[in-house]
Chains A and B, each alone.
Chain A
Amino acid sequence: MPSEDMGKLTYRMRLAFAVATVICLLVLAISPVKDFRAEWKKYKRSFVRYAQGRPDTKKLLADYSPNIDQVWIPGMNVVDRCTTCHQGMTQPSLADASVPQPFRAHPPIPHNVREWGCTICHRGQGPATEIAEAHETTLAWEQPILPAHFLQASCGSCHHADLNETPQLTRGRELLSRLNCQACHKLNDVERPMLGPELSSVGYKVSREWIYKWLKEPRTVLDKDGNVTVNGYENGDESRMPKFRLKDEEIVALTAFLSAQNAQPIESYKINPAVVAAWNKKPDLLPQGELRFRQMMCTTCHPLAVTRAGETKLIGGNIGPELTKVGSKVNEAWLVSWLRNPQGYLAQNNMPRYGWTDEDLYKVSQYVMNQLTDSDLLTTVPKLEAATGDEIKNGKRLFLEKGCASCHSIAGVTPQKDFGPDLTALGSKNASELEFGKAKITHNLLSYIQAKLQDPVSVNPASRMPQYTWNPADLDAVTTALLSQTGPKPTSALQHLTVPKVAASYRAVGDFAEVYERYKCYACHRFNGYGGTLAPDLSYEGSRAQKKWITEFLRNPQTIRPTLILRMPQFNMTDKEVNIVAEYLALAVQKPDVNPQSVDARQFTPALVSMGKQLYEVKYQCQSCHTIGGTGGYVGPNLNNAGNWLTPAWTEAWLRNPQALQPDTIEPRRNLTEDEIRALTAYLMTLKAAIKPQSSTSAANASLAGQGAGR
């Protein structure tokens, strides 16, 4: 290479080096500039300016440092730099909504931010120092901030026991249990799954046409505005049976299979022909049947559509199925046999075995079969011929394939295990682990869960999950409960934080156990934390109620809470049964420190009684919530008969501290002196008037949520 050429090259090289060096320097300069302009530094500076504009500048800036702040809790995986920008987090004076974000104080919660950090509850990326990285899904981080509306999910990931403060989570868990999601999915913290009825003998109960109708529109019908109606009536609750995406020929095959299920013939019962003949001569059979149906308080558990003043609505509880059109559903022979002995048809179910006279049985069954009907119910069902062997075989295959067997057992049909995916760690899944299919939704966990719940095939066309109908609040509640299923905790420090759920159990003993099972007391009443919540907790009934009162109440249940329409049914217990229950309740279920014999009502003097009356009416004005002699409020129980109902010992203990006896009671605890307590008790013990049953119209005006008033 000639030397002059070399010189030229060198010149060009030099130029290139010069340019490269300048670029290099510029690149090096980017970093400090970027650093100076970092988002968090802007917030640091503007917080100083904000604090300076307030009277409490000094206090606000006491801990100020221009650097990154972080909460670092090694064992809990917490490295949260959120306080770098959210600088007023622990400043009570910045709690007001007028304080601009990100400087507002955290609302007072049971946990201290300094001890817990932020991301344990809010999720998001703790160590991030940029807004987007901290809050949103980024390429490197897939767990965005949980919107505040769903924040209770985080409570649930440690608190497996239900909390008062998290109604949305509790409702979600309740729905997961009510809708029996556990039949197909593995879930944590979901109690008492409710299975669908066993279908081994369903062929005796309903017609093939009815099954067709049911599979086509399982109870829930959506009107054109998207409102949920049940058999045509509005209902706030979800139907337990979801809708499956079935083709007509699949429904036909399933109906063939199901209507052929006759494993165990029903115990047929012939009502005394003399009773039938006698009633058939009377024209008022149906009204009489309806009256009996009401008196037996079937609607305490079963919803029923009633029309009053041109308005139709569902009344009644939601423990049993809706009965408005049940007469067009079941066979009469099945109904009679079911009413006499529900456990004869389904071994596991919560329907009490009432004591029936032939007359009652005839009246009520005639009423149900003739009045609770809808002649149009099956008009849309095509003509179905007798089932062929092929149809039945096909139906059985579908019964397994569609997952019917997960909820409904049939003798000889073994359900597939783990039909749906395990959801116990769904709440900590990354978006990349989820299938979004063609759904046009934001790719994050929350949108995924909501899309899947609302329309399972929208994210996965091959999904076997059936279609549920949600109202918006319930959709969010279930989403919250699912988000709370975050799987095992990664570190032992976090495992220590979990608050387990205490499983409640109660075993009735002796003769009582038999009566307890027969009348399914636990479907509505609670004993030591186990059982329903519809009716009063009976764990301490022996301390509270006088034995004589219990006996009379069981014979002829009357309401103590006049606004309730859900009342204790009339079971027609035998005298022997009544005695067994009264004996057991009075002696076996007492609160240890409230001995019902410890206070003797005979010691109360007239002077004490009149002082109590004065206290009741003037000083404490208890009549604002309780009724005596027709006047007063109805937030608390009617006290007209308190002297026959309550034990003096219980009354005193209750007045001293109601929450000690019943933690969730709304009766306010007062500052009563012992003298006042004694005087009030003395007065209450003089009240011995029978309570008249409420007229049915005003009772029906109270909605079903009425039981809330008493608690």
Chain B
Amino acid sequence: MKSRILLAMPLLFVALGLSACKKGAEVVKPVEAFGTYDSEPDWNDSTKLVNLGYQEAQGKRIFYLYCVWCHADATPAGPSNRGNLTPVPPLLNDGEKLNGESDEFMQNIITLGGSALGKSAMMPPYGKTLSAGEIQAVIAFTRAIAQPPYQRPGRPGSQYTAK
């Protein structure tokens, strides 16, 4: 009798060990992202959706509060103020125009306004209204929606692949 128990012990161990390896029952499916705060339809092709990360989504919020009036063709109020301005401000997704500008330039013109950089005073300064982080967020949003898409300059070609 005793020998049977002794024999069973190691088997029990094995069984326990195996069961501990078992993974959780179900895998959670990712939820589909809708056209909300953390995504933005491609301005040039509304069937495409650009998903936004945390910073870009904060940028979107700030853009639609402060910048949309002059830097987009459609505003929450309907018509855009763009046409009232000379020079006509670029659409903020205009990659042809803005992809070439460095983050520093963008940060400067938004913080100090156009006149401080020898551009039009119609671009107001936001340095005393928005925090540096908020301005970085708007820039991140600009980069995310840029058409043609924005490529970070001098990004080191990554040889590493995950897993």
Instruction: Give the contacts of B1-41 with A (CB-CB under 8 A).
Output: 3, 6-7, 9-11, 13-14, 17, 21, 23-31, 33-38
Q: Which one of B24, B58, B78, B125 contacts A670 once the chains associate, using CB atoms below 8 Å? A: B125
- Interface residues in B47-64 (C-beta closer than 8 Å to A): 53-55, 58, 61
Q: Is the CB of B37 within 8 A of A669?
A: no
Provide the residues of chain A in CB contact with B26, threshold 8 Å: 136-137, 442-443
Q: How far is the CB of B133 from chain A (nearest CB, A)?
A: 6
Question: Out of B7, B28, B65, B158, which one reaches A666, CB within 8 Å?
Answer: B65
Is B75 among interface residues, defined by CB-CB distance under 8 A?
yes
The distance in angstroms between the C-alpha atoms of A165 and B62, with both chains bound, is: 9
Q: Give the CA-CA distance A633 to B124 in the complex, in Å.
A: 13
A11 within 8 A of B: no
A499 within 8 A of B: no
Which stretch (A253-261, A422-430, A458-466, A703-711) binds chain B?
A703-711
A23 beta carbon closer than 8 Å to chain B? yes
**Are B77 and A563 within 8 A (Cβ)?**
yes
Q: Which of A149, A619, A705 has the most CB of B within 10 A?
A: A149
- Please give the distance in Å from A409's CB to the nearest CB on chain B: 36
Which of chain A's residues have a CB closer than 8 A to the CB of B29? Answer: 442
Q: Is the CB of A203 closer than 8 A to any CB of chain B?
A: no
Question: Does A100 contact B54, Cβ atoms closer than 8 Å?
Answer: no
User: Are A473 and B34 in contact (CB-based, < 8 A)?
Assistant: yes
B81/A138 in contact, CB under 8 A? no
List of B residues within 8 angstroms of A53 by Cβ:
158-160
Residue from the set A24, A165, A472, A618 with the largest chain B CB neighbour count within 10 Å: A165
CB distance from B16 to the nearest CB of A (A): 9
The answer for the CA separation of A165 and B159 in the assembled complex, in Å, is: 36
Most chain A Cβ neighbours within 10 Å, of B14, B55, B58, B78: B78
A671–B28 CA distance with the chains assembled, in angstroms: 52
Interface residues of A in 618-655 (CB under 8 A from B): 618-621, 623-625, 632-635
Query: Scoring B residues 93 to 129 as 1 if CB is less than 8 Å from chain A, else 0, what string do you get?
Result: 0000000000000000000000100001110111011
CA A460 – CA B149 in complex, angstroms? 47
- Residues from chain A with a CB closer than 8 A to the CB of B13 are 23-24, 27
Residue contact B133 to A619, C-beta cutoff 8 Å: no
- Chain A nearest CB from B104 CB (Å) reads 16
A231 nearest CB across to chain B (Å): 23
Interface residue? A446 (CB, 8 A) = yes
Q: Is B90 an interface residue (CB 8 A)?
A: no
Structural contact, A20 and B10, CB atoms closer than 8 A? yes
A702 lies within 8 A of chain B by Cβ: yes
The residues of A that contact B148 with a CB separation of less than 8 Å are: none
- Does B46 sit within 8 A of A, measured CB to CB? no
Considering the chains assembled together, what is the distance between the CA atoms of A659 and B128 in angstroms? 10
A73 within 8 A of B: no
Q: In chain A, what residue has the closest Cβ to B61?
A: A167
> What band does the interface of chain A fall in when counting residues whose beta carbon is under 8 Å from B?
35 or more
The smallest C-beta distance from A521 to any residue of chain B, in angstroms, reads 24
A669 surroundings in chain B (CB, below 8 A):
128-129
- Residue A283, interface by CB 8 Å: no
Question: Which residues 467-519 of A sit at the B interface, judged by CB distance below 8 A?
Answer: 472-473, 476-477
Is A328 on the interface with B (CB-CB < 8 A)? no
Q: Is A98 an interface residue (CB 8 A)?
A: yes
Q: Which residues of A contact B3 (CB under 8 A)?
A: 13, 16
The chain A residue sitting closest to B29, CB to CB, is A442
Decide: B70 and A444 in contact? CB cutoff 8 A: no
Contact of A54 with B156 at beta-carbon distance under 8 Å, contacts A139-B25, A619-B115, A632-B84 already known: yes
A133 to B75, CA, bound (A): 45
Complex Cα spacing A46 to B133, Å: 32
CA separation between A141 and B28, bound complex, in Å? 13
| Interface 0/1 of A1-41, CB less than 8 Å to B | 00000000000010011001001100100100010000000
For B160, give the chain A residue with the smallest CB separation: A50
| Smallest Cβ-Cβ distance to A167: which chain B residue | B37
Tell me the complex Cα distance, A34–B23, Å: 14
B81 and A634 form a contact (CB under 8 A)? yes
Q: How far is the CB of A98 from chain B (nearest CB, A)?
A: 6
Known A473-B36, A703-B76: A624·B128 in contact at CB below 8 Å:
no
Stretch at the interface among A101-109, A580-588, A676-684: A101-109
Q: Are B35 and A473 in contact (CB under 8 A)?
A: yes
A49 to B162, CA, bound (A): 11
Q: Does A439 contact B (CB under 8 A)?
A: no
Give residues of chain A (273-309) contacting chain B, Cβ–Cβ below 8 Å. Answer: none
Q: Give the residues from 96 to 138 in chain A that come closer than 8 angstroms, CB to CB, to chain B.
A: 96-101, 107-109, 132-133, 135-138
Q: Chain A contacts of B163 at CB under 8 A?
A: 46
Residues 123-156 (chain B) with a chain A CB within 8 angstroms: 124-126, 128-129, 133, 152, 155-156
Q: Shortest CB–CB separation between residue B71 and chain A, in angstroms?
A: 11
Q: Which residues of A contact B58 (CB under 8 A)?
A: 165
Most buried by A among B11, B21, B30, B54: B54
A668, B124: Cβ atoms under 8 Å?
yes
In the complex, chain A residues 134-157 whose Cβ is within 8 Å of any chain B Cβ: 135-139, 141, 144-145, 147-150
Q: Are B78 and A132 in contact (CB under 8 A)?
A: no
Closest-by-CB residue of B relative to A708 is B76
Residue contact B125 to A147, C-beta cutoff 8 Å: no
Q: Which single member of A150, A165, A659 contacts B31 (CB below 8 Å)? A: A150
Q: Name the CB-closest residue of A to B39.
A: A149
For A23, give its contact among B14, B77, B152, B158 (CB under 8 Å). B14
CA distance in complex: A633, B89 (Å) = 13
Q: A residues engaging B (CB < 8 A)?
A: 13, 16-17, 20, 23-24, 27, 30, 34, 46, 49-50, 53-55, 96-101, 107-109, 132-133, 135-139, 141, 144-145, 147-150, 164-165, 167-168, 442-444, 446, 472-473, 476-477, 563, 618-621, 623-625, 632-635, 659, 666, 668-671, 701-703, 705-706, 708-709
Residues of B bordering A, CB below 8 Å: 3, 6-7, 9-11, 13-14, 17, 21, 23-31, 33-38, 53-55, 58, 61, 65-66, 69-70, 75-79, 81, 84-85, 115, 120-122, 124-126, 128-129, 133, 152, 155-156, 158-163
Q: A24-B13, A139-B25, A668-B66 are in contact. List 4 more A-B contacts (CB 8 A).
A: A446-B31, A633-B69, A633-B70, A708-B76
Q: Give 17 CB contacts A-B under 8 Å.
A: A16-B3, A20-B7, A34-B21, A132-B27, A137-B24, A137-B26, A137-B28, A168-B38, A476-B34, A624-B122, A625-B69, A625-B81, A634-B81, A659-B129, A668-B125, A670-B125, A706-B78
Closest 8 CB pairs of A and B: A138-B24, A100-B162, A472-B34, A624-B122, A669-B128, A107-B54, A709-B77, A705-B76
